[in-house]
């Protein structure tokens, strides 16, 4: 079955430090890949997505992610974290099948120290 793994349940970084959140997927073909952010009391917000083409994709709020087929990974990065980035981050895939059924990972909770 298709699945998404986010190995890190909780990450803490200092403000201004770089960030990388890991995501691995299990699927036979190239899926459509997404990163969402969920802040307390807020709905899920799309950060970025990968469908095809350039494997390095840029998103909102200064985030980027790189698709690596050989590693079945789609890691999220940010060069300099801001305190407002503290939130929960979810990686998700859509298995191409004619509609947009998202399969989410368990999430990584990011804490930012001043």
Partner 1 sequence: GAGVSQTPSNKVTEKGKYVELRCDPISGHTALYWYRQSLGQGPEFLIYFQGTGAADDSGLPNDRFFAVRPEGSVSTLKIQRTERGDSAVYLCASSRTSGEEDEQFFGPGTRLTVL
Q: Which residue from 12, 18, 26, 45 is in contact with partner 1, where contact means CB under 8 A?
A: 45
Instruction: Closer to partner 1 by CB, 74 or 107: give it.
Output: 107
Instruction: Closer to partner 1 by CB, 15 or 94: give it.
Output: 94
Q: Are 17 and 114 in contact (CB under 8 A)?
A: no
- Closest approach, Cβ 46 to partner 1, in A, equals 6
Q: How many other C-beta atoms are found inside a 10 Å radius of the C-beta of residue 53?
A: 8
60 near partner 1, judged by CB under 8 A: no
- Name 56's bridge partners: 66
19 near partner 1, judged by CB under 8 A: no
Piece of the chain touching partner 1 by CB under 8 A; list 22-30, 57-65, 68-76, 98-106 = 98-106
- Name 45's bridge partners: 37
Identify residues 21-40 at the interface with partner 1 (CB under 8 A).
32, 36
Q: What is 23-76 written as a DSSP string? A: -EEE-SSPPEEEEEEE-TTS--EEEEEE-SS-SEEE-GGG-EEEEEGGGTEEEE
Piece of the chain touching partner 1 by CB under 8 A; list 21-29, 43-51, 63-71, 72-80 = 43-51
């Amino acid at each position: 079955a298709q699945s998404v793994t986010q190995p890190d349940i909780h990450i803490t970084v200092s403000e201004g430090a770089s960030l990388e959140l890991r995501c691995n997927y299990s699927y036979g073909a190239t899926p459509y890949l997404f990163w969402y952010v969920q802040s307390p009391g807020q709905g899920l917000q799309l950060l970025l997505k990968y469908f095809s083409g350039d494997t390095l994709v840029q998103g909102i709020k200064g985030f980027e992610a790189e698709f690596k087929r050989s590693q079945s990974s789609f890691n999220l990065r940010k060069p300099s974290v801001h305190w407002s980035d503290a939130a929960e981050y979810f990686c998700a895939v859509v298995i191409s099948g004619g509609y947009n059924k998202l399969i989410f990972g368990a999430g990584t909770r990011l804490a930012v120290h001043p």
